[in-house]
Amino acid sequence: MNKRLKQNIYIFIIMILALSLFIITFNTDADLYSMIFSLDIDNPINIYSVLFWTLLAIIAETFLIISPSSGVATSVAPAIYIYIMIVSNPFIVMIVALIGSILRFPEYDGERKHIFNTKKSTTFFNAANLTLTFGICAWIVNLRNSFGDNNYIVIGLLSVIGLLVAEFVNFILVSILIRITQGVQAIHIFRSMIKTFPSTIAIGMLGIFLVFVHNEYEMIIILIFFIPLLLARYSFKLYFESQRMALDTIHALNEALHAKDAYTGGHTGRVEQYSVNLAKAYGLSYSDVEIIRTAALLHDIGKIGIPDEILNKPGRLTRSEFELIQEHSTIGAKILGNVNSLKKVSNIIVQHHERYDGSGYPNGLKENEISIEAAILMISDSYDAMTTDRPYRNALTKTKAISELEKCSGTQFNPVLARVFIDGVLSKEESHNEKLNKEEFSDKNILIKTKEIVEANSDLPQDIMKVGTKI
């Protein structure tokens, strides 16, 4: 069975589950039909209120904020859905969520996406997923009726529980779909999605405030209080756009560096591979490995500030020239430090020439003062430099390079990591792959990979909707 067929069968099952919850919810209240289509404005639920809530949902789902660091988009939709859950019932929430997910038209990469230019499978999954997850959340919030009206503490607790359950259900649904289509492990998806949990809960709690406004004032006043939410969304959008511009600038600088220094492209790719293998052999977590991967790909970006005549000098550097070259780790850290999502990477890069005995630069750190990630990068960077031909010397053999690693263990290199690198990485290389494939790490391939890493896109496709967000 191919992936497309598996995907379609899975989406069909989710649609059946959502439809089943629709039917069950509708059958719990015999007056639902008459309430939804009632023209009596004195009724708390009528056609006008349903249309009003639907409009709010469409607006909330349309104006998304996409984080440049994770690819995850957030919106004020959870606040709207929690508000509707409390003042109406689960069936109304499901109706509004369904229409909101179908009629929304958010902007992605400068293009408005809507029902007519989005794949049908995506639209069906988004609609079923959002309807099902917020339908379940609404059922949990609806338990408030057992504790009396307007008990805002109970409402708040049930809302938090409902949103957490909705997030979990959404995680399961999205994980299975992406596992089918891309083979991505669930834990990787969870790490991407968990970043939005706090914001989803916080935004959802604003729905309780909207309930208070709804109870104390006319419904139209909700629009007035909805405007600050959109203004807050706009402020975040401006911030994220500034971060995106910074990421694009970093990518441009990296391209310029590879253009001015032919050695850097292949070296960067090999250092990335060594660093990732060493981090895994040492037992670091997936997130730490990915941070090291990014640091390896960007570790020489500070060389963009070094004059070409020094960077490409065919002979050995003079003392003053070497001191100038040493500034590249500090320059690189300053460049990356301007982007919040690359702060950790910046700290690794500024330390990646620090030596275990304290004789390194720029700050003379030693032993445990040097981060594990920077110590890993130091070993990988040094080993590749030793085993690569340079204009002023020939490459060392693998045996000689390993001898140098052992000789400098405890002085230049972290001794534990040096042993893991020798025994857990180099010794496991296949004989025919004793040197990493140079073509694999060509300038073109490394530039493409670096752009993907710098942008730090989520493992999740951007056309799959998440509860209160879009991934």
Q: Which two tokens stand for residue 99?
A: 């229409």
Query: Which tops the pLDDT comparison, 466 or 388?
Result: 388
Q: Greatest CA span in the chain, whole angstroms?
A: 88
Q: Answer yes or no: is 441 within a domain.
A: no
| Same structural domain, 38 and 176 | yes
Task: Verify that 171 and 298 share a domain, yes or no.
Answer: no
Greatest mean pLDDT among 108-112, 147-151, 464-468: 108-112
**Domain presence at residue 429:** yes
Least confident range from 89-98, 143-152, 421-430, 459-468: namely 459-468
For residue 304, the tally of other CB atoms under 10 A from its CB is 22
Asked, for residue 450, whether it belongs to a domain, the answer is no
Domain residue limits at 421: 261-436
Q: Is residue 349 domain-shared with residue 421, that is, in the same domain? A: yes
Band of pLDDT at residue 354, cut at 50, 70 and 90: very high
User: Where residue 453 falls among pLDDT bands split at 50, 70, 90?
Assistant: very low
| Tokens standing for residue 25 | 């919810």
Q: Are residues 69 and 199 in the same domain?
A: yes
Residue 129 pLDDT: 92
Instruction: Tell me the C-alpha distance between 66 and 244, whole Å.
Output: 10
Return the structure tokens found at 340.
């919040």
Same-domain pairing of 370 and 395 = yes
- State the amino acid at position 355 in one-letter form: R
**307 and 416 inside one domain:** yes
163-200 residue pLDDT tens? 999 988 988 888 888 888 877 666 666 666 676 677 77
Q: Are residues 313 and 369 in the same domain?
A: yes
285 backbone dihedrals φ, ψ, rounded to 5°: -70, 165
Would you state the pLDDT for residue 139? 93
If you write DSSP's letter for every residue of 93-134 in order, what string do you get?
A: HHHHHHHHHHH---EETTEE--TTSS-HHHHHHHHHHHHHHH
Q: What is the CATH number of the domain that holds 426?
A: 1.10.3210.10
CA distances for 244 relative to 117, 155, 397, 457, angstroms:
25, 38, 43, 12
Domain count, the chain: 2
Q: Is the pLDDT of residue 464 over 80?
A: no
Q: Which residues, in sequence order, are CB contacts of 60 under 8 Å at separation 6+?
A: 75, 76, 77, 79, 80, 100
Pair (203, 309) in one structural domain: no
Residue 313's nearest CA partner among 270, 261, 268, 362 is 261
Tokens standing for residue 41: 């404005």
> In this structure, are 463 and 384 located in the same domain?
no
CA distance 85 to 89: 5
pLDDT digits (tens, 9 = 90+) for 366-421: 999 999 999 999 999 999 989 887 766 788 888 899 999 999 999 999 999 999 99
Q: Is 452 within a domain?
A: no
**Is residue 254 a part of any domain in this protein?**
no
Are residues 369 and 464 part of one domain?
no
In this prediction, residue 449 carries a pLDDT of 46
Mind listing the pLDDT tens digit for each residue in 234-279? 676 676 666 666 666 666 766 666 666 655 557 888 888 999 999 9
Backbone torsions φ then ψ of 124, nearest 5 degrees: -65, -45
Q: Are residues 236 and 353 in the same domain?
A: no
Assigned token pair, 393: 């010397």
Instruction: Give the model's confidence band at 458: pLDDT under 50 very low, under 70 low, under 90 confident, else very high.
Output: very low
Domain presence at residue 279 = yes
For residue 160, give every residue at least 6 positions away whose Cβ sits within 8 Å of its Cβ, in sequence order, or none.
201, 204, 205
